[in-house]
Amino acid sequence: MTAMKSLIDKLEKNSVLSAEEYTQLIKSFTEDDAQYLFDKAKKIREKYYGHDIYIRGLIEFTNYCKNDCLYCGIRCSNKNTERYRLSKEEILDCCKKGYALSFRTFVLQGGEDPYYTTDRMTDIISSIKKLFPDCAVTLSLGEKSYEEYKAYFDAGADRYLLRHETADNEHYRMLHPETMSPENRKRCLKDLKSIGFQTGCGFMVGSPYQTAENLAEDMLFIKELRPDMVGIGPFIPAKNTPFEVRKSGTLGLTLFMLGLTRLTLPDVLLPATTALGTIHPLGREKGILAGANVVMPNLSPVSVRKKYLLYDNKICTGDEAAECRNCLQMRMKSIGCSIAVSRGDHIVKQGAKL
Ligand code: 5AD
Ligand code: FES
């Protein structure tokens, strides 16, 4: 038994490690240690979710953004991005197609676009909920005020995704313009939880300047916040951004962080992200085998897909929703899993006693 394996055993037993212990694992794990972690992570996923993989239909409804995050392809100072917005009718049409393909969660994701005022957003949310009362609506629209989040919730939105990007305040400032602060990011997450959203945070692996200590802080941050979902994907450079010449995060470290997350928050909803599928052809399958239990294929109209490029070489930008749905079904089957036709709520919110 290596020192790393004993740490993994300890994490399995206590669902938490100290910052030093997480750091040591992240710095020193071998491929053999990683496999040891993934086997445990997969067993824990199966204990809570069986062989079911939840799907979310992602609707990228605007690529306008008032922010200027240094890593992001749709940052406002990227003048090479052709901007688009979807109308309410176009969004509802995506939901209709998605519903027929057995999606029961719709994720509305966009840049921070002032065009979508609280009134416009709540109208879109309540229209989706009225047409599809058995579906969950997830929002991923960035930082807003408490009142705005509350209005979305009252209009029927169920969940909200806002990655914290990095729990380390200094690192956060290196990735964002001065107009954004780690304090406000964390305030948003606390507001979302207190309003009653199923809340998701998350971070990129291998982002510029990131250290093993930073990733250890991310683990302690999620332990403290107790989100319902955690989105983790590799950083991938995007053309025409300050980080365009940086290296991508690696498959190995991203998978390892997924495994650590499954052991730290055993029942969490954990997507195998599109970014993971972008850095390796079998990235999403490997993500599931490292403990993930959600996939989020794209429902956006193919005509706009190539415009929502947060990073380069994004997969599935030419594929119809039905193609991705079938593709993922096969991919999940190939690793002994199957896609569930269900809202796929966090297990605590399904009423299960833990
Ligand atoms: N590489 C990987 N992920 C990125 N995101 C934004 N830009 C990139 C990039 N270059 C992620 C951020 C954001 C989510 C919607 O996409 O973590 O929260
Ligand atoms: Fe989109 Fe495979 S998931 S083509």
Instruction: Report pLDDT digits (tens) over 276-286.
Output: 999 999 999 99
Average confidence (pLDDT) over 94-99: 97
Residue 349 lies in a domain: no
Domain assignment present for 237: yes
What residue owns the CA closest to ligand 1's atom 13?
A: 163
Is the CB of 58 within 6 Å of ligand 2?
A: no
| Probe residue for ligand 1, chosen from 204, 207, 253, 309 as the CB with the greatest number of ligand atoms within 8 Å | 204
Identify the nearest ligand to the CA of 243 by its number: 1
Average pLDDT in the 32-59 region?
98
Q: Which residue minimizes the CA distance to atom 1 of ligand 2?
A: 324
Residue 349 is predicted with a pLDDT of 61
Q: Is residue 348 part of a domain?
A: no
- Confidence band (pLDDT; 50, 70, 90) for 1? confident
Number of the ligand closest to the Cα of 55: 2
Number of structural domains found in the chain: 1
Residue 295 CA to ligand 1 centre (angstroms):
16
Per cent of the chain over pLDDT 70 is: 98
Lay out the sheet containing 198-205: strands in order across: 57-62, 105-110, 136-140, 159-161, 198-205, 229-234
24, part of any domain: no
- Residue 258: inside a domain, yes or no? no
Q: Quick check: CB of 297 below 6 Å from ligand 2?
A: yes
Q: Please indicate, yes or no, if residue 347 is contained in any of the structural domains.
A: no
Alpha helices in 50-162 (DSSP H): 88-100, 118-131, 146-154
* Alpha carbon of 337 to ligand 1 centroid (Å): 27
- Residue 178 tokens, joined: 């001065």
The Cα–Cα gap between 25 and 11 comes to 11
Is residue 187 in some structural domain?
yes
Q: What type of residue is 226?
A: R
Contacts of residue 300, Cβ cutoff 8 Å, sequence gap at least 6: 58, 59, 60, 61, 86, 94, 308
User: In the structure encoding, which two tokens stand for residue 314, read together?
Assistant: 């994004």
- Give yes or no for a contact between 256 and 36, defined as CB atoms under 8 angstroms apart: no
Nearest-ligand number for the alpha carbon of 242: 1
* Residue pLDDT, tens place only, 158-214: 999 999 999 999 999 999 999 999 999 999 999 999 999 999 999 999 999 999 999
3-state secondary structure of 127: helix
* 275 lies in some domain: no
What is the C-alpha radius of gyration for the chain, rounded to an integer number of angstroms?
19
Ligand 1: distance of its center to the CA of 163 in Å? 9
Residue-level pLDDT at 348: 73
Q: What is the CATH number of the domain that holds 114?
A: 3.20.20.70
Say how far apart CA 157 and CA 57 lie, in whole Å: 15
Report the 10 Å Cβ neighbour count for 89. Answer: 8
Mean per-residue pLDDT over the chain, rounded: 97
Please determine, for residue 309, whether its predicted confidence score (pLDDT) is greater than 90: yes
Helix (H) or strand (E) holding 79: none
For residue 140, what are the domain limits? Answer: 51-246+294-340
Band the pLDDT of 353: cuts 50, 70, 90: very low
CA angle 335, 276, 212 (to 5 degrees): 115
Q: Determine the average pLDDT of the residues in 336-351.
A: 86
Give the pLDDT mean for 292-314.
96
